[in-house]
Amino acid sequence: MMPRLNSRMEAVQSPIIPVVGQLILQNPGTISLGQGVVFYPPPDEAIVAISQFLADTENHKYKAVPGIPSLLATLEEKLKIENRITIHPNRAVVVTAGGNMAFMNAILAITSPGEEIIINTPYYFNHEMAIRMAGCQPILVNTDLNYQLCPDAIEAAITDKTKAVVTISPNNPTGVVYPQFSLERVNDICRKHGIYHIHDEAYEYFTYNGVESFSPCSIPESENYTISLYSLSKAYGFASWRIGYMVIPEHLLEAVKKIQDTILICPPVISQYAALGALKVGVTYCKKHLQDLMAVREVVLISLKSLENLCTVAAADGAFYCFLKVHTDMNDFELVKTLIERYKVAVLPGMTFGMTDGCYIRLAYGALKKETATAGIERLVEGIKQIFQEE
């Protein structure tokens, strides 16, 4: 007999990117505006640093669970200068295998099964999945029409089972940037109710029009309940290297170390050396490529203006996403499938980000050079216009 499957995983949605990826493979020539990666590779300094890893045979053995000391020290300096976060005895930094693992570490460290985590819709799908994997309940709170936080609604959703509020800025999937006063308000709500504020800053360098991202861990006296998550995947073209890090209250360090030691033992040491090389170049590496990204962004925004009667596109001053509400009764996955099969352009459906009250799609423009992005957005615009004509 086959074992009877009754797993917590049944409550977890299937990742959408492999599903869309399969559709792309079945339709050669499709331009993908789906996955959120950047078009540029890691800096040369990251590759050179690998030789330092190889020069010491001890590096082929397990290393410290929270990360190698030299990388931790470099990250502490970066946090102090760029994020105004001081690492002192009440705080700790832990290197992780990417930002997603940092989030999973945080959820497992602070919750027991059956407890609740508040996430704002549209949410980042891997966050929602991680919460369910931990046996917890994601509590969905709507953002406003511009996808900005609604602190009063967040506070109203808090119960005696709530353990944390999750915020992401610059945001995935919407690209909006939450202003400092809004994040400070959410952080104060968390302090007042004795819960954690988990803030994802994976896109911290990707802001436009003079807008700046804000780190809640920089709020005075917030160290006991504020958790910030970071990643090198976007800023340094490091997606497959799997290096992220987290700033946590010191009282969570032992729990996080237990989790990381069980799942990973230690972050990939070769990737940690590459991260050291990348961080020597620093934020200037990302900023250098932002000029090209801004040119692509301009093409995307100009093209989307021609859809203003067919779609609602909220202003997005961060990351490299646009989140569209398409004014149609068509199911969003059917729209995505049609765009791939008939118009050879791929985007992601809004349902995977928790949006079920209409037809929404997310497009990502960070992975493409200007010429390809231009062709892709032209296909998207033409496809949506044609589909509306047929309705």
Quick one: tokens of 387?
């589909």
Phi, psi of 8 (to 5 degrees): -60, -20
Q: How far is CA 139 from the centre of its chain?
A: 18
List, in sequence order, every beta strand (DSSP E) within 292-353: 311-313, 321-326, 345-346, 348-349
CA distances from 166 to 123, 199, 200, 223, 250 (A): 9, 6, 8, 16, 19
Distance CA 29, CA 31 (A): 6
Q: What pTM did the predictor assign?
A: 0.94
pLDDT per residue of the chain (391 residues) written in tens, 0 to 9: 777 666 788 888 888 888 898 999 999 999 999 888 999 999 999 999 999 999 999 999 999 999 999 999 999 999 999 999 999 899 999 999 999 999 999 999 999 999 999 999 999 999 999 999 999 999 999 999 999 999 999 999 999 999 999 999 999 999 999 999 999 999 999 999 999 999 999 999 999 999 999 999 999 999 999 999 999 999 999 999 999 999 999 999 999 999 999 999 999 999 999 999 999 999 999 999 999 999 999 999 999 999 988 999 988 999 999 999 999 999 999 999 999 999 999 999 999 999 999 999 999 999 888 899 999 999 999 999 998 887 6
Half-sphere exposure of 206 (CA within 13 A, CB side): 35
Say whether 44-281 and 8-41+284-390 share the same fold.
no
Strands 162-168 and 196-200 turn out to be parallel
Phi, psi of 206 (to 5 degrees): -95, 80
Domain covering 44-281 in this structure, CATH number: 3.40.640.10
Phi, psi of 361 (to 5 degrees): -140, 150
CATH class name, domain 8-41+284-390: alpha beta
Query: Is the separation of the CB atoms in 102 and 90 below 8 Å?
Result: no
Residue 34 is predicted with a pLDDT of 85
Angle between helices 99-110 and 125-133 (to 10 degrees): 40
Query: Is the separation of the CB atoms in 160 and 116 below 8 Å?
Result: no
Distance CA 205, CA 169 (A): 10
CA distances from 26 to 21, 145, 161, 256, 346 (A): 9, 36, 45, 41, 12
CB atoms within 10 A of CB 31: 22
Distance CA 333, CA 165 (A): 29
DSSP state of 207: B
Domain extents in the chain:
8-41+284-390, 44-281
Closest CA to 349 of 357, 358, 360: 360
